[in-house]
Each structure stands twice: as structure tokens, then as C-alpha cells.
């Protein structure tokens, strides 16, 4: 059985980096994810006075007495969590600062978060299109004119998380009232669990629609970041598709991440999933269950991995709960469909729902020549998850067609995986060895 270790969670890394930065004492973070997004987060926080001391995969975070903006605009690439979380820092920071990113980051909507910050008294100035980065903020230093914020419509869970993370540093705390619970509710639940670890007191009512966060937090001396469950979807899918026994070590008995539910998708496709202490194994592969409809609203970041898997199994597989994929690093629905079309895989898109016709029909000798000449576009998307999904698909196809993976189809700009898993291609080659 192959034994592998995957990187720490990006979602949790950026959450705890911010909490450590605003805490009351230094925190040692273990199993730190070193990626483009987390580097951008540290870079901005450093400019606010936070000190970082790195030691391998561990990082000592020392918060300043108070966060102070430097008046500069900080480049954050295409890091959505950094854009949302650091925008909310304007509620507790003293002084001014700005954020800017790549062109795609300037197309990712922030209007609901900016409106929430504005209702609490933050002066948010959009330097391009209203409701988008680049933007400039004048901080409130934790002193708000009111302590209740109302969010209307189906807001992003990242907007809610951004407010939750800074709420303990607001004088009197913060009450968040939502008209409806966001579709990615597990990400909010993850944030609340992390707040508990930082000693934050809060109440949740109305089925999660109202959250009242009290002022004050007590940082732990040490925190170990669980493995990234979005990242775990790639080796899990790889093992299931190739029917190769695999154990993910340090998977985590308590991952706090909704994307852990992807293991159930692998089980549907025939894997036996066994969790033992901190490890998780995929073995004893059997026949897949019948084609069905999957609702990925609790874990949209791994929906594309599920799509790549469905290509290999007979039937029409429908994927729902994908609306948030339209405004990620790229339009992930369109990017996946474009790639499948190049490979001869039949798809149908109705609104934000995708149906994939799975089976071996597209793996014919006649089509393989076309597949070998294809190039899956990621350079215009700059999307790490699109690249990794097609990397897994390519590896699975290489086994079933007995063609070397590198000779099947090219993946444009493969280095975009550095956003969350810089060594992905090297690791994938080791799985195949």
C-alpha cells in the first residue's frame, strides 16, 4: 500500500494566521501550508506589524500590541481568502491600507462584504469597479458605531467567516444576522470550531442564521493544522480510479473541513474507505453504485474532482450545488466543460448544474490521437484545482489506455498548483511510480 502525506489545509492555515495575528500572545503553528495564498496572507499581515519566524513546516506568530495600516496597497495575487479576510481587518486596524491582485481577482465580487463593512462604519473606496478590488480601507480600530451587521441574500461563506474572525477584537463583540444560511455552511462551522480553540465565546441561533460573537480571545500556545481536505480529494480520486491501495497519513481524526465528505464520493465509486486514528485508507475496490445526482453545495471546491471521476463510470452523473464555482479563480464550470469537450467527453450544462456522460466511449483508439494532441487550458484560468483535476484524470487514463501520462494531453501552465500544493506534480509522479 502506498503511503503519502498531503499539505496542511489552506482554509485553516489562513484562518489561524489571522487569528494568531490578532491574538493576545505568540502562537506556534505546525504543519503550515506553504503556498502562494498563505505567503500573500503573511505578507500583508507583516505590513501591519505581525512578526513571523519560520522553522521548517512550523511558524511562530507574534502579534503586535495593535495592528496598524501602512497606507500601502498590497498585492495578493488571486487569493480569495486573503481578499475577504483582510478586507474585514479594516474593522479592527488603526490607519489605512489597500488591496489589489491579478486581473481575475479584480473580477471576483466583494460587494456584499463591502456593504457590510460600510454599514459598520468602514470607509471602503473601490479604485476600479464598485464592489471589486482594487480597494482602499480606513480602519476603525475596533470601535464601531453599532455592533449588529445584517447580510442579505445568499452571501458567500467567506464573507461571513471574514467577519467572524475579527469579531472578538471588536469592542463589545459583533452580532451577525443573515437572511438565509450560505450554501457552503460547513466552512462557517469550521470557522466557529476554530474560534472555540482560540477561547472565543459565542452563541448561534435560528438554525445558524444569527451568530453573536463576544469580545475577547485567548490564543493557544501551539496549534497543528490538519491536512487539506480539498487537496485530499486528488489522491483519493487517483486511488479509486486506478484501483490502487493508498493510505493518506496524518489525514486527521478531526479535520474541521466539509470537504472530508469527498470520501463518500469515492465510496460511491467503489472504494472502501477506512479511517484509523489519524490516517485514512482507500482499498478493496468494488463495483461502482448506479449513476446519481450529487449535491456539492457543502463542498464546492471538490466538485471538479468528482466530475473528473465520473468520466470513467457508465451513466449520466449530475452535479448540483455548483453556483459558487462561477466566481472562483476562474469560471470553474466552464473550465471543466471546455476540458472535457477537448477530450471527447459529453457534458450538458443547465444553469449551474452539470451532467456528465461517463463510460469508456471517449477512450477509443480513434479518439486517443486527439486526446494526445490536446492541451487543457489553465494558463488563462490560473486555477490550481482545474490543473490538479485534469492531472488525476490524465493519470487514470494512462493506466486504462497503457499510454504514458505525459504523452496523453498537456496541461497549460502547470505551475499554477503552487497556489495550494507546490509539489503536486512531483508527488503525483511518486504515486504512479
Q: Which residues are catalytic?
A: 301
For 70, 87, 97, 196, 318, the CA distances from 44, given in Å and listed in that order, are 10, 11, 10, 25, 40
Angle at 244 between CA 239 and CA 248, to 5 degrees: 55
**Residue given cell 496541461 in the structure block:** 411
Q: How far is CA 196 from the centre of its chain?
A: 21
How many other CB atoms are there within 10 angstroms of residue 154's CB atom? 16
* Dihedral of alpha carbons 417, 418, 423, 425, sign: positive
Prior bond of 392 cis (ω within 30°): no
d(CA 53, CA 66): 19
Amino acid at each position: 500500500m502506498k503511503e503519502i502525506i498531503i499539505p496542511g489545509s489552506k482554509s485553516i492555515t489562513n484562518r489561524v494566521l489571522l487569528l494568531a495575528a490578532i491574538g493576545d500572545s505568540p502562537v506556534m503553528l505546525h504543519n503550515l501550508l506553504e503556498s502562494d495564498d498563505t505567503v500573500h496572507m503573511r505578507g500583508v499581515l507583516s505590513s501591519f506589524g505581525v512578526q513571523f519566524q519560520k522553522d521548517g513546516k512550523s511558524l511562530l506568530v507574534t502579534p503586535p500590541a495593535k495592528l496598524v495600516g501602512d497606507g500601502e496597497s498590497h498585492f495578493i495575487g488571486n487569493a480569495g481568502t486573503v481578499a475577504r479576510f483582510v478586507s474585514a481587518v479594516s474593522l479592527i486596524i488603526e490607519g489605512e491600507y489597500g488591496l489589489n491582485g491579478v486581473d481575475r481577482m479584480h473580477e471576483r465580487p466583494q460587494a456584499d462584504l463591502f456593504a457590510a463593512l460600510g454599514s459598520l462604519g468602514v470607509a471602503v473606496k473601490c479604485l476600479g469597479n464598485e464592489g471589486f478590488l482594487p480597494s482602499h480601507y480606513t480602519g476603525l480600530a475596533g470601535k464601531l458605531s453599532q455592533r449588529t451587521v445584517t447580510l442579505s441574500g445568499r452571501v458567500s461563506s467567506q464573507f461571513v467567516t471574514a467577519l467572524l474572525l475579527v469579531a472578538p477584537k471588536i469592542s463589545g463583540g459583533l452580532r451577525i444576522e443573515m437572511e438565509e444560511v450560505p450554501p457552503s455552511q460547513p466552512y462557517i462551522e469550521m470557522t466557529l470550531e476554530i474560534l472555540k480553540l482560540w477561547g472565543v465565546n459565542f452563541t448561534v441561533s435560528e438554525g445558524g442564521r444569527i451568530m453573536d460573537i463576544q469580545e475577547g480571545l485567548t490564543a493557544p500556545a501551539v496549534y497543528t493544522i490538519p491536512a487539506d481536505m480539498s487537496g485530499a480529494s486528488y489522491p483519493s480520486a487517483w486511488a479509486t480510479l486506478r484501483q490502487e491501495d493508498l493510505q493518506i497519513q496524518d489525514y486527521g481524526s478531526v479535520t474541521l473541513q466539509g470537504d472530508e465528505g469527498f470520501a463518500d464520493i469515492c465510496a460511491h465509486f467503489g472504494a472502501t474507505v477506512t479511517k484509523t486514528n489519524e490516517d485514512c485508507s482507500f482499498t478493496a475496490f468494488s463495483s461502482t453504485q448506479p449513476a446519481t445526482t450529487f449535491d456539492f453545495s457543502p463542498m464546492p471546491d471538490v466538485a471538479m474532482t468528482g466530475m473528473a471521476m465520473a468520466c470513467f463510470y457508465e451513466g449520466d452523473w449530475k452535479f448540483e450545488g455548483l453556483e459558487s464555482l462561477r466566481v472562483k479563480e476562474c469560471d470553474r464550470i466552464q473550465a471543466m466543460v471546455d476540458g472535457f469537450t477537448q477530450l471527447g467527453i459529453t457534458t450538458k450544462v443547465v444553469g449551474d448544474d452539470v451532467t456528465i456522460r461517463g463510460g469508456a466511449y471517449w477512450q477509443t483508439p480513434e479518439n486517443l490521437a486527439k486526446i494526445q494532441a490536446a492541451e487543457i487550458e489553465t494558463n488563462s484560468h490560473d486555477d490550481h484545482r482545474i490543473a490538479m483535476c485534469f492531472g488525476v484524470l490524465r493519470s487514470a487514463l494512462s493506466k486504462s489506455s497503457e499510454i504514458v501520462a505525459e504523452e496523453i494531453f498537456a496541461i497549460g501552465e502547470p505551475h499554477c498548483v503552487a497556489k495550494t500544493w507546490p509539489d503536486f506534480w512531483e508527488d503525483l509522479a511518486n504515486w504512479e511510480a
